[in-house]
Amino acid sequence: MDFNLTKEQVMIRKMVRDFAEDVIQPRAIDIDTSAEFPLDIFQKMGDLGLLGIPFPEKYGGSGGDTISYAIAVEEIGRICGSTGLSFAATVSLGASPIYYFGTEEQKQSYLVPMAEGKALGAFGLTEPNAGSDAGGTKTTAVLDGDEYVINGEKCFITNASFAETIIVTAVTGKDKRGRNIISAIIVPTNSDGITVTSNYDKMGVRGSDTAEVVLEQVRVPKENLLGDPQKGFKQFLYTLDGGRISIAALGLGIAQAALDKALAYAKERTQFGQSISKFQGIQFKLADMAMEVELARNMVYKAAWLKDQNKPFTKEAAYAKLFATETAFRSANQAIQIHGGYGYMREYEVERYLRDAKLLEIGEGTSEVQRLVIARQLGC
């Protein structure tokens, strides 16, 4: 189903699908088992212009829209969840906030290299004691003359080990009601006092870099403040809304991969003298998977379309993120069941889909947080 995609969107889908199948697919199992970030693949993606899809050409991008970008995330995620996650993170979280809120100087200095594929970015929000409660941020940034002095610790930060810049959220003061003002600041990773370590041994998306970032007396020019200092919290909520579309697209890709694998296996596998795809029990599983994948795709594309039309999309992004990621987990689980004992083996890949999908129900706002967002949008 093409959902009335434009010629440009269809071309992007074909280009990314061909790249994912030709370049990423042969290494997908190894990326997972070795847990090594495939930097060379990202360099090739940069050369193809994939890292700049949703940004204007004047900033080194491809001038594409959010739907095109979501399609790209979906196609890469269909082949490799690890690569899909790091792709989504560098575009949606590392580069997009600078495009949304940055000054012209910041865009030229930091967005252009990322859009051109010459640099990766990261977004430092999560802390050991501030996950779903982003307002509980403890990292501080104190203005000292012409510089901010930043101290704090971030955890579970995607791409941080390979990023040129990290957008760090930090408390920069108090408002009139005595509440913390949380601002976003662009921090080059080669700054003195910043330590990035990647020692996590993860269940899934193992080839996506996940790091801890410690900032000790890190000094950056005050010009590195991103956007309005009084609206930092609202700014990164908008950033997360956009990021949720990309994580939804990643979940959609994994769900589609699980369906594809399960359907192909069911047609090949014979038991009791016939293909197991002829058994009603298997047919019902496949029918449910196909229906949920189709529904997820509609949700993802609708949220992306709303964003492109500059319409409110917070609720729809939460719908898409919640449904598509939970669909990914259900579909992967059913794919393993359809494969039987073979589904438990790495070479059949469906067990990797399950491990990768689980992270998507946690990152970019847990499933529970998505339900809270939806409820609030309903006026609860």
pLDDT value at 202 more than 90: yes
Cβ–Cβ under 8 Å, residues 350 and 344: no
Of 64, 94, 120, which closes a domain?
120
Angstrom distance (rounded) from CA 160 to CA 198: 8
> Is the model's pLDDT at 232 over the cut of 80?
no
Pair 263, 273 in one domain: yes
Whether residue 28 has pLDDT greater than 90: yes
At 60, which CATH number?
A: 1.10.540.10
**Neighbouring C-beta atoms of residue 172, cutoff 10 Å:** 21
Given a cut of 80, is residue 111 above it in pLDDT? Answer: yes
Give the SS3 label for residue 215.
strand
pLDDT score for 2? 58
What is the H or E stretch that residue 49 is in?
none
Predicted pLDDT at 357: 98
Contact between 213 and 154 under an 8 Å Cβ cutoff? The reply is yes
pLDDT of residue 325: 98
The CA distances from residue 231 to 144, 208, 221, 238, in Å, are: 21, 30, 19, 11
Shared domain for 221 and 182, answered yes or no, is yes
Average pLDDT over residues 200-216: 98
Query: Can you give the pLDDT at residue 237?
Result: 87
358 and 264 within one domain: yes
How remote is the C-alpha of 157 from its chain's centroid? 11
For residue 2, being part of any structural domain is answered with no
Mean pLDDT of 137-151: 96
| Same domain assignment for residues 141 and 250 | no
- The domain tally of the chain equals 3
Running DSSP on this structure, what letter comes out for residue 283?
H
Do residue 249 and residue 364 come from a single domain? yes
Instruction: Please indicate, yes or no, if residue 362 is contained in any of the structural domains.
Output: yes
- For residue 83, tell me if it sits in a domain: yes
Long-range CB pairs of 273-276 (<8 Å, 24+ gap) are 276/338
Residues with a known catalytic role: 364
Kindly indicate the confidence band of residue 376, based on its pLDDT and cuts at 50, 70 and 90. Answer: very high
Residues 286 and 222 in one domain: no
Domain of residue 137: give its range.
Answer: 122-230
DSSP string, 172-238: EEE-TTSPEEEEEEEEETTSTTEEEE-----SS-TTS-EEEEEEEEEEEEGGGEES-GGGHHHHHHH
Residues 169 and 279 placed together within one structural domain of the fold: no
- Is the pLDDT reported for residue 88 higher than 70? yes
What is the pLDDT at residue 220? 98
Report the pLDDT averaged over residues 35-61.
Answer: 97
Is residue 123 predicted with pLDDT exceeding 60?
yes
Query: Cα 366 to the chain's mean position, in Å?
Result: 13
Residue 368, H or E segment: helix 367-377
Is the confidence at residue 84, as pLDDT, over 90? yes
Tokens 């009335």 appear where?
4
Cβ pair 184, 236 in contact under 8 A: yes
Q: What is the DSSP letter of 130?
A: B
pLDDT higher than 70, residue 1: no
Q: Which of 92-96, 151-155, 228-232, 345-349 has the lowest mean pLDDT?
A: 228-232
Same domain? For 371 and 359 the reply is yes
| 248 & 330 share domain | yes
User: Does some domain include residue 71?
Assistant: yes
Q: Taking residues 257-276, what's their average pLDDT?
A: 97
- The verdict on residue 1 lying in a domain is no
User: Can you give the CATH number for the domain in which 212 is found?
Assistant: 2.40.110.10
Return the CATH number at 332: 1.20.140.10
The verdict on 174 and 250 lying in the same domain is no
pLDDT of residue 4: 85
Last residue of a domain, one of 204, 230, 256: 230
Is the pLDDT confidence value at 234 over 90? no
Residue 273 lies in a domain: yes
pLDDT of 130 reads 86
| Whole-model pTM over 0.85 | yes
52-67 residue pLDDT tens: 999 999 999 999 999 9
pLDDT value of position 135: 81
Q: Identify the domain boundary among 203, 230, 257.
A: 230
Same domain (yes/no): 132, 107: no
* pLDDT beyond 60 at 198: yes
Residues 93 and 152 both lie in one domain: no
Q: Taking 70 as the threshold, does the pLDDT of residue 69 lie above it?
A: yes
pLDDT of amino acid 277:
97
* pLDDT average, residue stretch 267-292: 97
What's the mean per-residue pLDDT of the chain?
96
Q: What percent of the chain has pLDDT over 90?
A: 93
